[in-house]
Structure 1
Amino acid sequence: MILFRTPLKPLTIFVLQTTQSLPQRPTAHPSEVTTTARVQVQQLRWESYGEKSYGFSEEMLEWSASRMECLDHSSDLVIIKDRKEMEFLRNKTRAADYFIGLEYSVEGNKWLWLDGTETKGNLFTMKPNKVDIDCATLRGGEVSPTSCHQRSHWICEKRNG
């Protein structure tokens, strides 16, 4: 087809679109579908502080996938042990929520760090747990309970050396 431009009529552009049939989606409830694929994420932004290095993600994943990314980097989600560490992380997390290594233990009816220790009341106070709110995020020094299925940034930590 040949198109001409005239001073009185605008040029017309034709776009040919093709479609391809996609396989039918399973009719099962989404919670019954298992996904095993892992998406490669960007490198973490590592910063040293004291005897540890902290990896800050640019991307967002669910809590369990975030933890797997940390483990792939020979680290784990951050466990905040003291005020100095909290202050360092507060300054790095002002603009977004970051998953940390804190989970709600249904058996113990309390919040526990990944190493099994309890939270120290002088660092922050956790709100009572609600159904399906078993993970925690940090933003600007505030720790908040959140769904483990919510997508968020995350912080990994490992010892230097």
Structure 2
Amino acid sequence: MLRNLELKQKTIKGDVTERLPEMKPCSTVQPTCPEPEVKIITQPCNIIQPTTPQPTEITTVTQSYSTIPTTTPQPSEITMNDPCYKCEDGWKQHGENCYYFSTRKSSWDASRTVCRTQGGDLVKIDSSEEQSFLRTTIQQMTEGYEIYFWIGLTDSAEEGKWLWVDGSPLNERLTFWFFHEPDDWTDEDSDGEDCGRMGPAYWFDKSCKARERSICEKPVVAVCPHFSSGTTVRVEDTMSYFSKAIPFRIV
């Protein structure tokens, strides 16, 4: 019996030994399946933003209109030959002003009084061009002689502070004093020389009590009719003429 058991064991062992070569080792690595390839394709997208409808464009058109002044217009520049602006007889026109060269001698104050009674004042010189006009006129009148005319310049209120008759100060960049003038000389008058006078070319200071000729100045006179806004006028064919001055008749 034992013998039979031993034989069975040997037989079983032999079978096992024969089957072992047929068996393959097992891998502990689990089989993996290839992952599917995923491609991410990025494309630019136009994002449409919600828009608010814009209001219709409004264009503002601005037009300028010329208004007719209700007052008499003052010309910015008046020429010597403008027929609508005249000076009285004996006065010389230059631009917008009239000038009277008086040959009557009197003190500065008395000369100014005469000018004012005629609607003007002693001349105030505002430009080199005006000075040139006065100089030329004086030279033509005096034929080169040293003859002087009072002008509207004085420092009688405060020595050295020269003022025009309208109260405006003398522009130091626009003066035509002769060499070393004004000198306030006191030999003839202890009060000095506080009034301005003009010779054939330059200015000089002189005692206000001295007797000199004078130059008066006042605005030109408008001789042409002017009409305010709203006035209806008609040009009379029989009276009109082609010049700067055209007669009108209110209708």
Alignment partner, residue 170 of structure 2: 119
User: Does the 8 A contact of 1:104 with 1:129 survive in 2?
Assistant: no
Give the counterpart letter for 2:128 in structure 1. R
Given the alignment of the two structures, is residue 76 of structure 1 paired with residue 121 of structure 2, yes or no?
yes
**Cα distance, 1:58 vs structure 2:** 1.8
Larger Rg: 2
Alignment partner, residue 58 of structure 1: 103
Structure 2: segments with no counterpart, 5+ residues: 1-88, 186-190, 222-251
Alignment partner, residue 158 of structure 1: 218
Match of 1:147 among 198, 201, 207: 207
State the structure with bigger RCO (CA 8 A, min sep 6), 1 or 2.
1
Query: Per residue, is there more strand in 1 or in 2?
Result: 1
Q: For residues 109 and 146 of structure 1, what CA distance do their matches in structure 2 show?
A: 13
Q: How does 1:9-48 map to 2 (within 5 A)?
A: 45-48=90-93
Deviation track 1:90-136 (CA, whole Å, cap 9, x = no partner) reads 01223320000000144364111111222223332442434431111
TM-score when scaled to structure 1? Answer: 0.67
- List structure 1 segments (4+ residues) > 4 angstroms apart after TM superposition: none
Q: For residues 133 and 143 of structure 1, what CA distance do their matches in structure 2 show?
A: 13
Given the alignment of the two structures, is residue 85 of structure 1 paired with residue 130 of structure 2, yes or no?
yes
Structure 1: segments with no counterpart, 5+ residues: 1-43
Q: 1:68 to 1:139 in 2, by over 3 A?
A: same
TM-score when scaled to structure 2? Answer: 0.44
Q: For residues 58 and 115 of structure 1, what CA distance do their matches in structure 2 show?
A: 23
Aligned length: 119
Alignment partner, residue 78 of structure 2: none
Q: For residues 110 and 192 of structure 2, what CA distance do their matches in structure 1 show?
A: 17
Q: 1:58 to 1:105 in 2, by over 3 A?
A: closer
Q: For residues 64 and 100 of structure 1, what CA distance do their matches in structure 2 show?
A: 11
Q: For residues 220 and 157 of structure 2, what CA distance do their matches in structure 1 show?
A: 33
User: Does the 8 A contact of 1:76 with 1:156 survive in 2?
Assistant: yes
